[in-house]
């Protein structure tokens, strides 16, 4: 028998599969088509202090081996998430869930995390620091070690649950940012978020996405994600949630060998809503093929 179990910041998961934020709603939508309790956990839709309508449409562009999205953190705001979304989720998902939080100032992150920290079905925070800092000239928190550390410290001061900081790959030195977050008290690192990309419509000769650019995800970004997970694993002692282009059980094994303790699946959920379920069901076969009996044993095995 093979063991799919893994541990993320002190909480044991039945398997390492985590649908990524923004690709799985608040879970109950997917619970209508299969039992989502087969998942390790999932990261729910990026939540902000205030409700957000999101960016103008069109927001999605297909491209070779992936897609570009510019949804713009559309969500009902933290108060509605607590009042409406989490009670619905509680009826269909009986494991701790990962709360993905975004903000436009340090105060935003603090407010949202402090409110969500009181919810007993939240197991971890995934703090997304790749959103614009509108109070600081439009720079992303995730592109500066100092800014990422500032958010990490502020959130840790108001939360009791593990804080996993989700980093932007749109940087030249991911390692320095990951180390700054660890030093500021982060319990884990999540990487990578989407790469910045665009498409141009040859008929209109204009960008396909109304926002001109968006987040590029899908199988094409997996080599970049693997490289960053590998680099960060060498630099920090806290767990890593790896993701980026994962769509098969083989991809999960590869990501864990690079250093991930758990693995996020994003764009694949939008192509096939059963993607995570299929990967979990296929993992034992792939583990046996490569003589792996316990997934915990292979974390960082490529180093």
3-state secondary structure labels for all residues of 127-145: EECCCECHHHCCCEHHHCH
Q: What is 35-98 written as a DSSP string?
A: -GGGSS--BPPPB-SS-B--SPSP-EEEETTEEEE-----B--HHHIIIIIHHHHHTT--S-EE
The Cα 178–Cα 199 span in angstroms is 30
Active site residue 9: no
- Nearest alpha carbon to residue 165 among 102, 234, 96, 86: 102
DSSP-derived letter for residue 191 is E
Question: Which helix (H) or strand (E) covers residue 216, if one does?
Answer: strand 214-217
Spot the catalytic one: 9, 113, 131, 276: 131
Bridge-based pairing state of the strands 122-128 and 163-166:
parallel
User: How crowded is residue 281: how many other Cβ atoms within 10 Å of its Cβ?
Assistant: 12
- Nearest alpha carbon to residue 174 among 186, 187, 188, 191: 191
The Cα 125–Cα 99 span in angstroms is 5
Residues with catalytic function: 131
């Amino acid at each position: 028998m093979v063991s799919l179990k893994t541990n993320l910041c002190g909480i044991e998961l039945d398997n390492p599969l985590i649908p990524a934020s923004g690709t799985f709603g608040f879970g109950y939508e997917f619970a209508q088509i299969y039992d989502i309790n087969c998942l390790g956990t999932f990261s729910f839709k990026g939540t902000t202090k205030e409700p957000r309508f999101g960016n103008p449409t069109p927001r999605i562009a297909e491209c070779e081996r992936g897609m570009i999205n510019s949804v713009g953190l559309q969500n009902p705001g933290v108060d509605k998430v607590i009042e409406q979304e989490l009670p619905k989720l509680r009826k269909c998902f009986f494991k701790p869930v990962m709360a993905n939080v975004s903000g436009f100032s340090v105060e935003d992150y603090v407010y949202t995390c402090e409110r969500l920290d009181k919810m007993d079905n939240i197991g971890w925070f995934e703090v997304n620091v790749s959103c614009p800092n509108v109070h600081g000239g439009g720079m992303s928190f995730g592109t500066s070690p100092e800014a990422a550390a500032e958010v990490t410290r502020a959130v840790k001061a108001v939360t009791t649950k593990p804080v996993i900081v989700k980093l932007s790959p749109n940087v030249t030195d991911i390692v320095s940012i990951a180390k700054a977050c660890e030093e500021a008290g982060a319990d884990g690192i999540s990487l990578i978020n989407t790469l910045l990309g665009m498409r141009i419509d040859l008929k209109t000769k204009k960008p396909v996405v109304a926002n001109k650019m968006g987040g590029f995800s899908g199988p094409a970004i997996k080599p970049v994600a693997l490289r960053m997970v590998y680099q960060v694993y060498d630099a920090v002692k806290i767990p890593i949630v790896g993701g980026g282009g994962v769509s098969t059980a083989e991809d999960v094994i590869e990501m864990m060998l690079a250093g991930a303790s758990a693995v996020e699946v994003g764009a694949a959920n939008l192509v096939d809503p059963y993607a995570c379920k299929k990967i979990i069901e296929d993992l034992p076969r792939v583990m046996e093929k490569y003589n792996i009996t316990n997934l915990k044993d292979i974390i960082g095995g490529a180093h």
